[in-house]
Structure 1
Amino acid sequence: MNAQVPVEPGTHDDDAGADDALLDRRARALGSALRMRILRFCLHEPRTNREIAEEFGLNPGSALHHVRTLVDTGLLVAGEPRRGTRGAREVPYRATGVSWRTHVPGISSVLVRAFLDDIEGIPAEDVDTWRMGFLLDTEGEQELSDAITDLIVRFRARPVVDGARPVSLFVGMHPERRRGGDRP
């Protein structure tokens, strides 16, 4: 996959055609809650290394390390360089959406950390959360997973309208543990 060509998230398996080395590099890149947050920060508008460093309280060198890792794996794409407020050359970066459909074993704990970092400092009344248990057979579990995926794909594909604001959704589905630590 060409790292310079943005893709539409959810339209295909973004790992198709990627070799094992690229998949391994993507998995390592996505193993960082900070990098997951950088991807979301760059999702709706291109951001420069300076903006990324300021947003996450990083020094520019550390921010650039993370940005280069994400660009090298096709998760961020560099835009046309521009002049910053002080005349310095700045490169804006935009998330390609590849991370949305990249399969990474063990990513759940990273996503939870990124979610918790994202909501830190947001008033509790501004964060809606849901937790529900179901009794489902394998077919019902797959149907629920497919329905959630279809809903996410449908809303991700909506055109941006005036007045739209960035919102984030976190959904986790897992088998429940029974008392004593055993799985059903």
Structure 2
Amino acid sequence: MTAVEEAKALSHPLRLRILRLALDTPKTNRELAESLDVSPGTTLHHVRLLTEHGFLESTGVRRGTRGSREVPYLSTGKSWVLDFSDGDAHLPSPMTAASYAEYQEAPAADRFGEARLALRLTEPDLAEMRLRIAALVDEFRTRRAGPEGAPYALSWAVHRRSDSGPPTP
């Protein structure tokens, strides 16, 4: 499987949300569909694609409450930082769309840490900021607090402001 095929498998915001929902606890197709407020058929299509590309895996078959066959899926931890810079500039990237949808679903009391700022940075300063943020996020991502840790989501985006004029050489 090529990197392009794997990136395409993650190119839908619903797939990214499925991976987040199945990150710590195995979820069945029905549970995912209910959490995402979509039909089980829609979810199954996305689950199959994510499984085919190694982003989700079955944790085995179990019997549901009415004796039906259920297959819970768990995220494999295979993660990507996607670059959608060649996409349609008028459409949000799947990562942005998934993050925004999850943020909107969170109760107001659970929304915190929001910030927006405008900066002027040299290219070396921008490179340093990106490395430092990535290192900090990676440090906390690898800690794996376990079941006693509360689940949080983090998204961040850096872009050149449209009012800044042409990029400096």
Match of 1:62 among 6, 21, 42: 42
Indicate if the aligned counterparts of 1:48 and 1:93 stay in contact, CA closer than 8 A.
yes
Distance 2:5 2:147 in 1: 37
> 1:134 offset after TM fit, Å?
2.3
Which ranges in structure 2 are unaligned for 5 or more consecutive residues? none
Establish whether residue 146 from structure 1 lines up as the match of residue 152 from structure 2: no
Distance 1:161 1:24 in 2: 32
The answer to which of 53-62 and 63-72 deviates more is 53-62
Flag the structure with more relative contact order, 1 or 2, with Cα contacts below 8 A and sequence separation at least 6: 1
Distance 1:35 1:45 in 2: 16
Distance 2:3 2:42 in 1: 23
Match of 2:84 among 66, 91, 105: 105
After superposition, give the CA deviation of every residue in 1:37-91 in whole Å (9 maximum; x if it has no partner).
Answer: 1111011111111111111122222211110011111111121222221222211
- Partner of 1:120 in structure 2? 104
Same amino acid, percent of matched pairs: 36
Distance 1:110 1:161 in 2: 28
Distance 2:4 2:93 in 1: 18
Establish whether residue 81 from structure 1 lines up as the match of residue 61 from structure 2: yes
Structure 1 segments of 4+ aligned residues over 6 angstroms from their partners: none
Normalising by structure 1, we get a TM-score of 0.78
Indicate if the aligned counterparts of 2:84 and 2:93 stay in contact, CA closer than 8 A.
no
Q: Which amino acid aligns with 1:73?
A: H
Distance 1:138 1:111, change over 3 A: same
After superposition, give the CA deviation of every residue in 1:112-170 in whole Å (9 maximum; x if it has no partner).
Answer: 21112112243445322111222222221111111111111111111324532211001
Indicate if the aligned counterparts of 2:28 and 2:70 stay in contact, CA closer than 8 A.
yes
Establish whether residue 91 from structure 1 lines up as the match of residue 91 from structure 2: no
- Partner of 2:142 in structure 1? 157
> 1:103 offset after TM fit, Å?
3.7
Distance 1:102 1:124 in 2: 28
Which ranges in structure 1 are unaligned for 5 or more consecutive residues? 1-18
Indicate if the aligned counterparts of 2:33 and 2:43 stay in contact, CA closer than 8 A.
yes
